[in-house]
Amino acid sequence: MIESWLLELLKGVGRLFIHPVFYVTLALAVVLGYFRVKRERHDFHIRIEYGLTEFQKACKTLVLGLVLSFVTVGLGLILPFGTIFLISLVTVFFALFIKPRWLSTGYIVGFSLLLAVLLPKWTTGIESVDSLFSSIGETHLPSLAILMGLLMIVEGILVSKQASIQTSPQLAKSKRGLPVGSHIAQRVWVLPLFLFVPGEGLSTTFEWWPVLQMGEQSLSLWLVPFGMGFYQRIKASLPRETVAITGRQLSALGALILCLAISSVWWEVIAIIAAVIAVFAREWIHYLVRVHDDKNQPIFVQRDEGLIILGVIPESPAGKMNLLIGEIIVKVNGQSVSTVEGFYEALQHNRAFCKLQVVDDNGEARFAQCAIYEGDHHELGLLFVQDGKKWKRTVAG
């Protein structure tokens, strides 16, 4: 018994590396990193984060995948090969748009569930296609809906914990032609998840398992990669706060979908309703966030007093001083500043030491200081929005 499980486990892990979603999602992460660096160099003449940051984050989901796998294996969630193929096809299709938000679970699995209802009703006369449609028709809709709810909860956790940090600053023009800063939060993830697929391998020898689909049958254990994505542009609030809120909203939506999915075990139509809600509610969350951001005044703009920090370059002196995005520098070496030029001039007054008076997002003042070595006075690692007509994209310090 144990040997058969270990054998299936090894086979399942091997199937991960021949799955197209695994490579397509990682390739998308590399492409997103390339375009981000290109944009940052255009705006600031320097990249903020390493070009493979998105790729590295995409791979850091193994623990969450293993935790969720205990649930899916414990429930004995079974997806036919046709359904896995359908989800993979939908994922690859949305990935081709290079818009990470379209890889949200609400869209991918939601549309896949709806297609799983519609496609088996069609016949094409092509044997291989009709066979695939027949396999899709064997989908247990409540199982797929439960999987969708679980994945949406995990997606919300990933957004809260990862997408809210290491956001990318951007410069644009307002309607009045003035420079405005914003932040782009974008991520893609590959979540590997163990699922059962009908086929030779393990036998359902226990009366209580699988929990959702009864009856004796043979199953194969697959490690299936699920692609996830997120995108949000923020200019009227701090990204670390707004993105985290969006993540919690996504987890709450996932919990609602999961409750509906569990109800669909007794009435299958609810699974279809859950898929429709998942698609439209996910779009509604994106719409509300965008409208709220557009109707409020941007915060990353030139001010009469102080300079608001648009970005902090990692591993720079500014980073070591724990300066944060959104904080306002009001004094440099005892001198009040409100322009980038004034910031530079104040730095020159003490070539060996830098002392900044900073106001945080709670309105409380604090001091940050560090030694400056020869040639370091232009390399503090702070990014500001340049002022007025001189809004040439510049790395300040």
Digit-coded pLDDT (tens) for 161-189: 999 888 999 998 877 777 899 999 999 99
Q: Tell me: do 161 and 14 sit in the same domain.
A: yes
What CATH number does the domain containing 334 carry?
2.30.42.10
Q: Looking at the structure, do residues 254 and 204 belong to the same domain, yes or no?
A: yes
The model's confidence at residue 37, banded by pLDDT at 50, 70 and 90, is: very high
Question: 213 and 140 in contact (C-beta within 8 Å)?
Answer: yes
129 with 26, same domain: the answer is: yes
pLDDT band at 75 (very low <50, low <70, confident <90, very high): confident
Q: Are residues 312 and 289 in the same domain?
A: no
| Residue 105: φ, ψ to 5° | -60, -35
Assess whether 85 and 162 both reside in one domain. Answer: yes
Same domain, yes or no: 291 and 311: no
Structure token digits, residue 230: 């997120």
Q: Is the pLDDT of residue 216 over 60?
A: no
For residues 334 and 392, membership in a common domain is answered with yes
Q: Domain tally for the chain? A: 2
291 and 343, same domain (yes or no): no
Record the tokens describing residue 394, joined without a space.
Answer: 């510049």
The last residue of one of the domains, among 295, 327, 356, is 295
In a domain, 301, yes or no: no
Query: By the 8 A CB rule, do 250 and 285 touch?
Result: yes
Residue 186 included in any domain = yes
Query: What's the pLDDT score for residue 212?
Result: 56
Mean pLDDT of 97-119: 96
Please tell me whether residues 152 and 266 are part of one structural domain: yes
In the predicted model, is pLDDT for residue 207 greater than 70? no
Return the minimum-mean-pLDDT range out of 39-53, 305-319, 337-351: 337-351
> Are residues 48 and 170 in contact, defined by beta-carbon separation less than 8 angstroms?
no
Residue 85: per-residue pLDDT: 96
Kindly report the three-state secondary structure assignment for every residue of the chain: CHHHHHHHHHHHHHHHCCCHHHHHHHHHHHHHHHHHHHHHHHHHCCCCCCCCHHHHHHHCCHHHHHHHHHHHHHHCCECCHHHHHHHHHHHHHHHCCCCHHHHCHHHHHHHHHHHHHHHHHCCCCCHHHHHHHHHHHCCCHHHHHHHHHHHHHHHHHHHHHHHCCCCEEEEEECCCCCEEEEEEEEEEEEEEEEEEEEEEEEECCCCCCCCCCCCCCEEEEEEEEEEEEEEEEECCCCHHHHHHHHHHHHHHHHHHHHHHHHHCCCCCHHHHHHHHHHHHHHHHHHHHHHHHHHHCCCCCCCCCCCEECCEECCCCHHHHCCCCCCCEEEEECCEECCCHHHHHHHHHCCCCEEEEEEECCCCCEEEEEEECCCCCCCCCCEECCCCHHHCCCCEEC
pLDDT tens column, 226-275 = 999 999 999 999 998 999 999 999 999 999 999 999 999 999 999 999 99
Q: Confidence class of residue 20 from pLDDT cuts 50, 70 and 90? A: very high
- Domain of 240? 2-295
Question: What is the pTM for the complete model shown?
Answer: 0.90
The length of the chain is 397
Is 300 among the domain residues? no
Report the pLDDT value the prediction gives residue 5, as an integer from 0 to 100.
72
Residue % of the chain over a pLDDT of 70: 90
Give residue 349's pLDDT: 77
Residues 367, 276 within the same domain: no
pLDDT tens per residue across span 119-153: 998 888 888 888 999 999 999 999 999 999 999 99
- Higher pLDDT: 320 or 86? It is 86
Is 302 domain-assigned? Answer: no
Predicted pLDDT at 396: 44
Bigger pLDDT: 350 or 86?
A: 86
How high is the pLDDT of residue 210?
Answer: 56
Q: Pick from 231, 264, 295: which residue ends a domain?
A: 295
Q: Which two tokens stand for residue 9?
A: 């486990």
Q: How much is the mean pLDDT over the chain?
A: 87
| pLDDT higher than 50, residue 391 | no
With a CB cutoff of 8 Å and minimum separation 6, the contacts of 358 are 323, 327, 328, 329, 330, 365, 366, 367, 368
Instruction: Say yes or no: 195 and 287 in one domain.
Output: yes
pLDDT of residue 389: 42
pLDDT tens track for 294-341: 999 999 988 888 899 999 988 888 888 888 999 999 988 888 888 888
Q: Does residue 343 share a domain with residue 245?
A: no
Most confident of 157-161, 342-346, 353-357: 157-161
Higher pLDDT, 212 or 333: 333
